[in-house]
Structure 1
Amino acid sequence: MKRFADRALVELSPTFDAMYGTAGRPSIPPERLLKASLLISLYSVRSERAFCEQLNYDLLWRWFLDMSLMEPSFDQSTFSKNRGRLLKHVVAQQFFDEIVRQAEALGLLSDEHFTVDGTLIEAAASLKSFKAKDQPPSDTRPDDPGNPTVNFRGEKRSNVTHQSTTDPEARLAKKGRGFESKLAYLGHALMENRHGLLVDFQLTHATGTAERDVVPQLLYDAKLRGFHPRPLGADKAYD
């Protein structure tokens, strides 16, 4: 995995050069931040703070990030400070695309037989923040500023009339009957069936019709990469 990641990051060097200036205090290499994000995902680390603490003594992680034994771990604020810059230059998408190109060059991807599936991605926003759009800010001091008590009994809430005050882009959604509603986004994965590899992933609002709406864009992007998904498997949400 390290070999694939390092090879992809070499291809992104021109992008990194454009992102960072040559003067001022040296920054944490963006390559290291991207590979650290991979480790956080693969090892299900609960937070960036926990990752930085464990990096102080985890030799495998240090090897993966090309860090010496004596080099101090970086602060968790490094992630938040650099995330905006990485998003602005669409670095994560470029990194992903480079990995897909490597898999294709090794003959690991079929140009046919794909499957698309969606998953709800819970937003970092509490249901307590889901308030009426025309509701003025309350002057009442909450009993607990970090987790205020809110009574929604008898109140009908929908995406038409309500909106999260902390994440306005999130939408109220649920997986199906019997599941609780959450503020979420919808992720769409395009998988190659021969080896089960992910070749595209897109994030949309959980509108209720997002599954059907996103398929044309997924197919268009796949064709730009040289893939021709036929047939395309999907569950009934994409009908």
Structure 2
Amino acid sequence: MIGERKVVQESLFYGFSLERHVPDNHLLRKIDRFVDLSEVRAHLEPYYSETGRPSIDPEVMIRMLIVGYCFGIRSERRLCDEVHLNLAYRWFCRLGLDGDVPDHSTFSKNRHGRFRESDLLRKLFETVVARCIKERIVGGEAFAVDASIIVADAHRRRSVSRPKTSTRRPVAPSLNICRSWTTRPSAGRRRSNRR
């Protein structure tokens, strides 16, 4: 037997809390524990004018940038859309359900203007690292960087010629990759993965 059709009826008041809808193990909850943005306003105050309309809270913009970096959202337009839609992002950015998300152009203006001139992002990075050392999440003794140089070979019809005097160990023989994969196919012949 099929049940009755539910009709959504808008309520006048909702008992809704963003806090309840963000899981305890969510990445943004963990980040929120270690990110202290209380000094952002004081640090940026000299870079704001005394006149004009009130600006967007710089803490909101920094929190939105952290969301973008953590979740690989590279476009500022998309970041604004994602923060508008995602409850966890809204909670982390302290926007609530009805808070306005800043326009994407505001990010460009601040990231390439005030944030760069004031060296704010470096100061925040150093503050977070110091907090992580204090909490014993990192030790600060070792440092590793991957600085591999990889030759780009993305053209569909042309291959990059590699220098013959390379001291690097060839990768193809160790992986038993078919020789025809690494050579350029002749004109008119289809490339195949079969031997």
Per the shorter chain, which TM-score range? 0.5 to 0.7
Where do residues 131-146 of structure 1 align in structure 2 (5 Å cutoff)? none
- Over 3 Å counting, the alpha-carbon distance change for 1:23 and 1:48 in structure 2 is same
Contact 1:35–1:65 at 8 Å: present in 2 too? yes
- Over 3 Å counting, the alpha-carbon distance change for 1:111 and 1:38 in structure 2 is closer
1:54 alignment partner, SS class: helix
Contact 1:11–1:98 at 8 Å: present in 2 too? no
2:49 alignment partner, SS class: coil
Where do residues 84-233 of structure 1 align in structure 2 (5 Å cutoff)? 84-112=113-141, 114-119=142-147, 175-176=149-150, 179-180=151-152
- Over 3 Å counting, the alpha-carbon distance change for 1:17 and 1:116 in structure 2 is same
Which structure is higher in strand share?
1
Deviation string 1:34-90 (CA, Å, 9 cap, x unpaired) is 111111111111411011122222111111000021122221101111111100110
* Deviation (angstroms), 1:115: 2.8
Identity %: 28
Which structure is higher in helix share?
2
Which runs of 5 or more structure 1 residues have no equivalent in the other structure?
121-174, 183-239
Where does residue 33 of structure 2 map in the other structure? 3
* Deviation (angstroms), 1:119: 4.3
- The CA distance in 2 between the partners of 1:111 and 1:39, in whole Å, is 25
- The CA distance in 1 between the partners of 2:119 and 2:109, in whole Å, is 16
Deviation string 1:186-232 (CA, Å, 9 cap, x unpaired) is xxxxxxxxxxxxxxxxxxxxxxxxxxxxxxxxxxxxxxxxxxxxxxx
TM-score under structure 2 length normalisation: 0.56
2:127 alignment partner, SS class: helix
- Over 3 Å counting, the alpha-carbon distance change for 1:119 and 1:66 in structure 2 is farther
- The one-letter code matched in structure 2 to 1:61 is Y
- The CA distance in 2 between the partners of 1:90 and 1:59, in whole Å, is 30
2:114 alignment partner, SS class: helix
Where does residue 24 of structure 1 map in the other structure? 52
1:40 to 2:12 alignment: no
Select the structure of larger CA radius of gyration.
2
Moved over 3 A (4+): none
